[in-house]
Structure 1
Amino acid sequence: MIATTGLAAAVLLSVAGCGKSLKDLEGRDSPRTPTASAASGGAPEAGRTGGTSGNVPSVPSVPTLPTPTRNPTGPAPSVPPSAPVDGRDAIAVSKAAATTMWTVDTGVDTSLRDATLRAAPYLDPAYLADQQAGTPISAPGAEWLTWAEHRAVTRVVATLADDMGKPDDTPVKAWHAWSLRVTPSGPDGWQGTPVTVVVFVSLARSGPDQPWKVVEAADSRP
C-alpha cells in the first residue's frame, strides 16, 4: 500500500487551477484530492472529497433534488461497463480512472464522489479509503443541479493531454493528464452543454511487475 501524505487542499487547488502542469505533482506520494472547480462555486464536481486541512465554509441551502433510485455504491444502470484495462499500462489505467470519475448517472448518483468510488478498481487502497472516508468539500454547483433535474447521464470522451508538461515516468511512478469532454443528456430528451475538464493523474506501483494504481487525481477547468 502506498502511503497517503494528506497534502493541504490549497496546494492541490493551485496545481489544478492555476495553469500548472503535471510536473508540479512530481515527488508527492498520494495527497488527498480537492477539485479545482470547487473553488469556483458553480462546478458539478461538488461532493468529491478533499483533504482535512483548512476550514470548510458553511454553504447555503440548495434545491431538493430527485431522490436517487438505488444505492449508488454499485454499478449505475445507465453507466456502461468499463472495458478490460491492462493494469501494467499506466496510460490505460489513468484514462480508465479519469473517465469513470466523470461518468455519472444523476438518477443514481448524488455527486461526483459516487462516480469516484466506482473507479475503485483503478485506485490505490489508501487513496480509495481516503475518498470513502472524506467529507465533501462543497455543495452541489449549478451544473450538477441542472443535470440532476433532468436525471442526466454523462458521456465522456478522453484525449491524452501530456503535452501540457509532465515529468518522466519511472518504473514505479507515472504522471498523465487527460482532457475530458463531458456531455450530459437526460431521458426526457434534454441535451446539456458539453463540459471540458482536464484531469491530472498520478500513479504508482510497488514494483515493475505490479499493476499501476492511481494515488492522486485533480480536476481543472481550462
Structure 2
Amino acid sequence: MRKETTTVRRALGALLATAAAAALLTGCGLRDLRDDKAAGPVEPSVAETFPVKAPVPPGKPLDAQAKVQPVPAPDPADPSAVARAWLATAYGYDTAYDSGPQDANLRALPYLTEEQANAERDYRPGAGSGSEWATWAEHRAWTTLEITADEDEQGPAGTPGASFQTFYVDGTAHGRDGWTGPGPRLTAVVKLTLTGPAGWKVAGVTVTPAAVPPAAVPPSSSPPAR
C-alpha cells in the first residue's frame, strides 16, 4: 500500500509540475492564493451564475485554549523552510475559533510577499466553506498536518531569485467530542521569491486537493461538543 501511495504521489507531482511550467511559459504565473482552498473543486464565477454571497465574519483570535499547532520561525534564507511554515500555518485550523479557512490564511501573512499579503487582506470569502469544513465545525475540530517534500523534485526549475517547492499535505481533524476524520489533504507547488534582506517569501501557490473516498468520511450525526 505504501508503494502504491508513493507511485500515486509521484504521478500527481509530475502532473502538477507540467501544469505549473505551462502556466509560467504562457506568462500567466501561478494562481492567486485566494483561489487555492483545500475544499472541493474550483467553482464557476459567482458574478456569472450566482448572486454574491454574504461575507464570512472573521473568526475569534486564538488564545491559550486553541489547538492550533505552533509553527517554529523558519530560516528566511531557506525557501523550503519558509514554504513549510506557510503550509503549516495556512492549513492549521481550529474551528472553535476560525469561521473558515481564510482565518488561517490571514495568520500566514508574514510568509507572503507584500503583493500576495495585500491580496489576502482584501479578499472577502463568501458564506459557506464547504461540507468538509461543516463536518469539522460540527465537531469543533482542529487539524494536525504531516507535510512531506516531493523527493523527486518534479516542480519547475528555479532561478537565483525564484524557487519552486512541491509538498504533500496529509491532515487529520480531531474533534473536541472525540471524533477523528480526514483533514486537509493536498499537493502544493509553492513559488517563492527572494525579497532582499527579508529573505524568501511565498509569491504564489498551485494546490491540487486529494480525493477522499466517501467511505473515509465518517457521518456527521454526532452532536457538537459544548
Per the normalisation by structure 1, the TM-score is: 0.71
Tell me which residue corresponds to 2:149.
160
Tell me which residue corresponds to 1:32.
32
Tell me which residue corresponds to 2:75.
86
Structure 1 residue 220 displacement after superposition: 0.8
Q: Are 2:30 and 2:205, in contact at CA under 8 Å, matched by a contact in 1?
A: no
Q: Please report the RMSD computed on the Cα atoms of aligned residues, expressed in angstroms.
A: 3.5
In structure 1, the residue corresponding to 2:191 is in which secondary structure? strand
Name stretches of at least 5 consecutive residues in structure 2 with no aligned partner: 1-11, 211-226
Greater gyration radius: 2
Q: What whole-Å deviation, never above 9, does each CA across 1:42-82 have from its counterpart, x for those lacking one?
A: xxxx9xxxxxx883643799xxx9x987336x898221221
Shift in alpha-carbon separation, 1:84–1:69, aligned structure 2, 3 A? closer
Structure 1 residue 40 displacement after superposition: 2.7
| Correspondence for 1:55 among 29, 47, 50 | 47
State the alpha-carbon separation in 2 of the partners of residues 87 and 118 from structure 1. 17
In structure 1, the residue corresponding to 2:133 is in which secondary structure? helix
Name stretches of at least 5 consecutive residues in structure 1 with no aligned partner: 1-15, 47-52
- Which structure: greater helix fraction? 2
Q: Does 1:148 align with 2:140?
A: no
Shift in alpha-carbon separation, 1:111–1:56, aligned structure 2, 3 A? farther
In structure 1, the residue corresponding to 2:99 is in which secondary structure? coil
State the alpha-carbon separation in 2 of the partners of residues 149 and 93 from structure 1. 32
State the alpha-carbon separation in 1 of the partners of residues 65 and 120 from structure 2. 18
Specify the code of the residue in structure 1 equivalent to 2:186: V
Per the normalisation by structure 2, the TM-score is: 0.70
Q: Does 1:214 align with 2:224?
A: no
Q: Are 1:107 and 1:152, in contact at CA under 8 Å, matched by a contact in 2?
A: yes
State the alpha-carbon separation in 2 of the partners of residues 71 and 93 from structure 1. 23
